[in-house]
Amino acid sequence: MKTFISEFIKWFLIINTGIMVIVWLNIRGYDSIWTAIIPQIFGASFATSIVTTAFFSYNPRKPISVPLRILLVFGHYLVLCVIIMTLGNLFNWFDFSPEGCLVVILSVAGVYFIAAVISYLLSKGEADEMTNALKNFDDEG
């Protein structure tokens, strides 16, 4: 449970950053924003972080084939689109229309991309630290 909570916090911060960037890109042309959008963004980040943490917490006993992994990632993406479409419709971020659906699809893809880049950079940093620690351990031993 402790691992799930720490992973949730990590994904919440990553996803919230991505959502904030996408929202900023989408509302640049407006003169003002409404104050209710901040808790709405946190709510969307919370909901999508739970799903993402659960998705990445699943650790099968056997390796997953590449086609199945692609299918799972696509399913995860679709679930995120449904969550954002539902919340976006509830919060009046956009209309439930073909144009609104396209905005959601592109926005979720943007957040997905930002989250992937941040996650990669964090993982690379952790891997570099472990490599350096192993080198130092070997040098001492």
Q: How many CA atoms lie within 13 A of 68 on its CB side?
A: 5
**pLDDT truncated to tens, each residue of the chain (141 aa)?**
788 999 999 999 999 999 999 988 877 766 667 788 889 999 999 999 999 999 988 877 788 889 998 999 999 999 999 999 999 889 988 888 899 899 899 999 999 999 999 989 988 877 777 777 777 776 675
Chain position carrying tokens 């909570």: 5
Q: Copy the structure tokens of residue 26.
A: 């989408």
Kindly state the greatest CA–CA separation across the chain. 64
| pLDDT confidence of residue 141 | 58
On whether the CB atoms of residues 131 and 30 are closer than 8 A, the answer is no
Supply the pTM of this predicted model: 0.81
pLDDT for the residue 17: 94
What is the C-alpha end-to-end distance of the chain, expressed in Å? 36
Output the pLDDT for position 31.
64
The CA distance from 44 to 65, in Å, is 31
